[in-house]
Amino acid sequence: MLSLTKYLQSGQTTISNLLFVNYRKMGLESEEFLFILQLHMKQQEGDFFPDLQLIAINMGLKSDQVYQILNRLVSGGFLVIETITVDGKKADQYNLLPLYERLEKYLDSQASKAKENQQEQEIQSVYRLFEQEFGRPLSSIEFQRIGQWLEEDHYQPEVLKLALREAVLNQAYSFNYVDRILLSWERKNLRTKQQVEEEQKRRKQQLLQKEVEQSAQSEELPKVSLTNWLEEELRNETK
C-alpha cells in the first residue's frame, strides 16, 4: 500500500494545462509529448540532462525509439540541446524554451484567426443590415460602396450601422445620405462607435436644453390683451 509519506516525497510535476490542451494542435504526437513530460519532470528534480535509458524504461520503449523521438523534437524545433558553463565546468542540457515559444506563437495565431473571423462576421452583418433596412437585395454598386467605406475609408462596421440608423430615422433610404452622415462625422473627427454615440448624446442634451429655455421664455412673456383697442376708442368718442 502506498504511504502518504512516500507519495509526498516523490514530488509532483507541474506543467501548464495549455500544453495538455494544445500539444496535438501544435504538431506533437502523444509519445513525443510524454517524452517532454519526462524531461520536464527530471528538470524539476534538478537533472537537466537525464539518462535517456531511464526515460525509455519509464515510457516502456526501446532506447532507439526514444532517440528517434528526441531527434524529431530537435529537428521540429521543440527543444534544443545546448552546452552551458556552470562553476567553470561545461555541461549539456535539454532546453525546453522553444516548446513554450511554439506554444505562444500557436496561441497568438489562434487569437488572430478568432479576431479575423469576428471582424468578417461584423462586416457581413453590415451588408445584411443594409439589405434588411432597404427591404431588398443590394446592387453590385451598393456592395462596392460599402466595401469602399470599410476598406478605403476605414470606417468601422459599427459606425456604418449607426450612420444607417441615422438615415433610417430620417426616412432617407439613400446611400448618398449615409455618405453625407459619415463625412459629417469625419469632419468632427468621430471615428468610433463610442465617439459617435457621445456626440449624439451631446446633441440631444443641447436640443433638450434649448427646448427648456424656449419654454421658459414663453412663460415670461407678458399677457397681451385681446381687446380691440380701435373699437374701444370709437365707443368712448360716441359717449
Give me the pLDDT at residue 212, please.
Answer: 82
Give me the pLDDT at residue 206, please.
Answer: 87
Gap between the Cα atoms of 81 and 96, Å rounded:
9
Return the beta strands (E) in the chain as ranges: 80-86, 89-95
Give yes or no for a contact between 137 and 131, defined as CB atoms under 8 angstroms apart.
Answer: yes
Give me the pLDDT at residue 208, please.
Answer: 86
pTM of the entire predicted model: 0.67
Give me the pLDDT at residue 180, please.
Answer: 95
Number of Cβ within 10 Å of residue 138's Cβ equals: 16
Residue 86 CB partners (closer than 8 Å, separation 6+): none
Low pLDDT (below 50) residues in the chain = 226-231, 233-234, 237-238
Give me the pLDDT at residue 170, please.
Answer: 92
CA 175 to chain centre: 29
CATH entry, 14-95, from 1.10.620.20, 3.90.1150.10, 1.10.10.10, 3.30.2010.10: 1.10.10.10
From 22, 53, 55, select the one nearest 37 (Cα to Cα). 55
Q: What is the CATH number of domain 118-211?
A: 1.10.10.630
The 3-state DSSP class for residue 96 equals coil
Pair type for strands 89-95 and 80-86:
antiparallel
Give yes or no for a contact between 147 and 158, defined as CB atoms under 8 angstroms apart.
Answer: no
The mean of the pLDDT values for the chain is: 88
Question: CATH 1.10.10.630 in the chain, residues?
Answer: 118-211
Give me the pLDDT at residue 228, please.
Answer: 47
Question: CATH 1.10.10.10 in the chain, residues?
Answer: 14-95
